[in-house]
């Protein structure tokens, strides 16, 4: 019914002129696959269940039809809330607000973004003036509703965005509360990067015969990202990162850590190494987060160090590099992280640091994406002990860490590793004979993920614990070849003999 073959331009999407003008002003020429699939049924008034992550153009996919409906069915008088968009984080809420601003620039509708952590008075004042579109995080929304400032009685369009993250963040009760307050007769949209069982259940509770749309993974952002992995001892990560960030190929980078404290620590360590960076995470005040983000967007801050939640939905078009300083223990987070680069049709590079404790996370990530990461071996901090083939069979402990506590999991007395510490005053290990500057090599076949059945939509996010950190912080070693050109640029690094085949099968990166 909603065939996509002929829909290769915005003209074929039946959008009203002010929306087509707005899209043209943004220099969008071709709708993204999620837009092609979602816009026609949404214009027809159907409910939609969208499996798409940020970076796929999903905001326009829901904002354009909603703006069109509001325009085609004008209501005289003071605006009332006819559209409600629920979203998990402040940053994402602000970005969705920006998108409504952009797409609705030639239309009269008013939108408002509300979230917690800031003074409610300006939000209350704007609500009193009247808005057509309200974009909100659940806590502040319910708070303002309880105080009598938000009236749900006129909501006709309800969008639940990043539903999987909402559930991860414990918003399920708030979501249900909000849904109970909405009028029954409305059009519903649910977008989620993944569709695990709880999301499917939630969707079936409020979507009416939804059209299911899905971003084509192969043609989405991820395909434009060169993904690399560098094996490194835990204590050497800071040196490796500083070395890489000194490279002029890195125009702007986001460094991801698993915890808030980790983010702060990386900023300090980088500063000691002469690399300026700003942190953005949940412990920072909203104004500090906004300042860091604005500085980053304006190019004044080249390196942003972020946690997953704070970075969720960061929509900045010019991020050239993503560094996964810690590998996430939830594989889906990796996809969200690297999706901060290669936005708006650009290309990007994502480099993962993997220490000995993180190989299971790496395996989960490759299983989820179906893309083996290019292995970069030839760098000064390379740690072959962290390579999966060498530590296969070791399993991390089952204890759950506190995500906000970034102390390394405690190793009980008497169980300290007896192996010599990585990169203590030993001479550097001899490097593999085939390694050359900037070379990558393909993962040995037996460690490659199964690609055929690796569909993220089917699985619950894989949570794992970091294994005990076995290696102490390392003293600086003389640098051999810290960031050979090729690691940080789009061109494929030179081929390791007999292994990596650019354009060949299963080698990862841009093929």
d(CA 114, CA 136): 5
Q: Confirm or reject binding of residue 289 to ligand AMP (CB under 6 A).
A: no
Q: Confirm or reject binding of residue 33 to ligand AMP (CB under 6 A).
A: no
d(CA 470, CA 416): 8
Instruction: Return the range that interacts with ligand AMP (CB under 6 A); candidates 52-60, 346-354, 387-395, 497-505.
Output: 52-60
Residues from 331 through 360 that contact ligand AMP (CB under 6 A): 343-345
> Integer distance in angstroms from the first to the last C-alpha of the chain?
33
Least distance from ligand AMP to the Cβ atom of residue 510, Å: 19
Q: Confirm or reject binding of residue 58 to ligand AMP (CB under 6 A).
A: yes
Q: Confirm or reject binding of residue 57 to ligand AMP (CB under 6 A).
A: yes
From 36, 51, 60, 338, residue interacting with ligand AMP (rule: CB under 6 A): 60
Least distance from ligand AMP to the Cβ atom of residue 95, Å: 7
Closer of 344 and 437 to ligand AMP (Cβ): 344
Closer of 13 and 150 to ligand AMP (Cβ): 13
Least distance from ligand AMP to the Cβ atom of residue 91, Å: 11
Least distance from ligand AMP to the Cβ atom of residue 99, Å: 6
Dihedral pair phi/psi, residue 278, rounded to 5° = -125, 145
Classify residue 449 by its DSSP letter: P
Q: Confirm or reject binding of residue 54 to ligand AMP (CB under 6 A).
A: yes
Closer of 53 and 156 to ligand AMP (Cβ): 53
Least distance from ligand AMP to the Cβ atom of residue 128, Å: 30
3-state secondary structure 116-184: CCCCCHHHHHHHHHCCCEEEECHHHHHHHHHCCCCCCCCCCEEEECCHHHHHHCCCHHHHHHHHHHCCC
Closer of 338 and 469 to ligand AMP (Cβ): 338
Least distance from ligand AMP to the Cβ atom of residue 224, Å: 12
Look up residue 55 and give its two tokens. 């970076």
Look up residue 62 and give its two tokens. 């829901």
Q: Confirm or reject binding of residue 317 to ligand AMP (CB under 6 A).
A: yes
Label residue 501 exposed, middle or buried (CB < 10 Å: 0-12, 13-18, 19+): middle
Q: Confirm or reject binding of residue 11 to ligand AMP (CB under 6 A).
A: no
From 91, 164, 236, 315, residue interacting with ligand AMP (rule: CB under 6 A): 315
Look up residue 434 and give its two tokens. 């085939």
Number of H helices, E strands in the chain: 16, 15
Least distance from ligand AMP to the Cβ atom of residue 43, Å: 16
Closer of 58 and 234 to ligand AMP (Cβ): 58
d(CA 330, CA 194): 12
Are residues 488 and 226 in contact, defined by beta-carbon separation less than 8 angstroms?
Answer: no
Closer of 60 and 207 to ligand AMP (Cβ): 60
Closer of 32 and 440 to ligand AMP (Cβ): 32
Nearest to 159 by CA among 252, 63, 240, 235: 63
Closer of 224 and 261 to ligand AMP (Cβ): 224
Closer of 35 and 137 to ligand AMP (Cβ): 35
- Residue 205 Cα distances to 113, 154, 165, 200, angstroms: 26, 21, 18, 9
Q: Is 475 helix (H, G, I), strand (E, B) or coil?
A: coil
Please report, as ranges, the residues that interact with ligand AMP according to CB under 6 A: 28, 30-32, 35, 54-60, 315, 317, 343-345
């Amino acid at each position: 019914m909603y065939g996509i073959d002929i829909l290769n331009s915005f003209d074929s999407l039946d959008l009203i002129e002010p929306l087509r003008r707005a899209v043209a002003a943004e220099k969008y020429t071709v709708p993204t696959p999620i837009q092609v699939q979602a816009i026609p049924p949404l214009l027809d008034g159907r409910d939609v269940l969208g499996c798409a992550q940020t970076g796929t153009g999903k905001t326009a996919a829901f904002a354009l039809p909603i703006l069109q409906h509001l325009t085609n069915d004008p209501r005289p008088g003071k605006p009332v809330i006819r559209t409600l968009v629920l979203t998990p984080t402040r940053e994402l809420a602000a970005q969705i607000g920006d998108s409504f601003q952009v797409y609705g620039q030639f239309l009269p509708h008013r939108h408002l973004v509300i979230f917690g952590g800031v003074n409610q008075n300006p939000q209350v004042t704007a609500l009193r003036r009247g808005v057509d579109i309200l974009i909100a995080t659940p806590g502040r929304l319910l708070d303002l509703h309880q105080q009598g400032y938000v009236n749900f009685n006129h909501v006709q369009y309800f969008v639940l965005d990043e539903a999987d993250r909402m559930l991860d963040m414990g918003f399920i009760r708030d979501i249900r509360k909000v849904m109970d307050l909405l009028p029954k007769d409305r059009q519903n949209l649910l977008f989620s990067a993944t569709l695990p069982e709880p999301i499917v259940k939630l969707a079936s509770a409020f979507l009416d015969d939804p059209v299911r749309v899905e971003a084509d993974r192969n043609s989405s952002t991820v395909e434009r990202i060169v993904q690399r992995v560098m094996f490194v001892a835990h204590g050497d990560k800071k040196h490796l990162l500083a070395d890489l960030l000194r490279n002029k190929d890195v125009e702007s980078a986001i460094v991801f850590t698993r915890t808030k404290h980790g983010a702060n620590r990386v900023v300090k360590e980088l500063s000691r190494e002469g690399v300026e960076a700003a942190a953005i995470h949940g412990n920072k005040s909203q104004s500090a987060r906004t300042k860091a983000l604005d500085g980053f967007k304006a190019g004044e801050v080249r390196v942003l160090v972020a946690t997953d939640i704070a970075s969720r939905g960061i929509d900045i078009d010019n991020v050239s590099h993503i560094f996964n300083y810690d590998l996430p223990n939830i594989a889906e987070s990796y996809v969200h992280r690297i999706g901060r680069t290669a936005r708006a049709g650009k290309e990007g590079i994502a480099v993962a640091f993997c220490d000995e404790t993180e190989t299971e996370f790496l395996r989960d990530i490759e299983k989820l994406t179906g893309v083996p990461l290019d292995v970069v071996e030839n760098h000064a901090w390379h740690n072959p002990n962290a390579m999966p083939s060498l530590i296969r069979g070791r399993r991390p402990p089952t204890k759950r860490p506190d995500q906000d506590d970034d102390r390394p999991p405690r190793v009980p007395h008497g169980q300290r590793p007896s192996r010599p510490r990585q990169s203590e005053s030993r001479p550097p290990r001899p490097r593999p004979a085939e390694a050359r500057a900037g070379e990558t090599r393909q993962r040995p076949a037996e460690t490659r993920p199964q690609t055929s059945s690796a569909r993220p939509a089917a699985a619950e996010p894989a949570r794992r614990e970091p294994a005990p950190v076995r290696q102490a912080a390392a003293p600086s070693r003389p640098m051999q070849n810290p960031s050979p050109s090729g690691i940080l640029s789009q061109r494929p690094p030179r081929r390791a003999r007999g292994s990596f085949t650019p354009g060949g099968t299963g080698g990862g990166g841009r093929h």
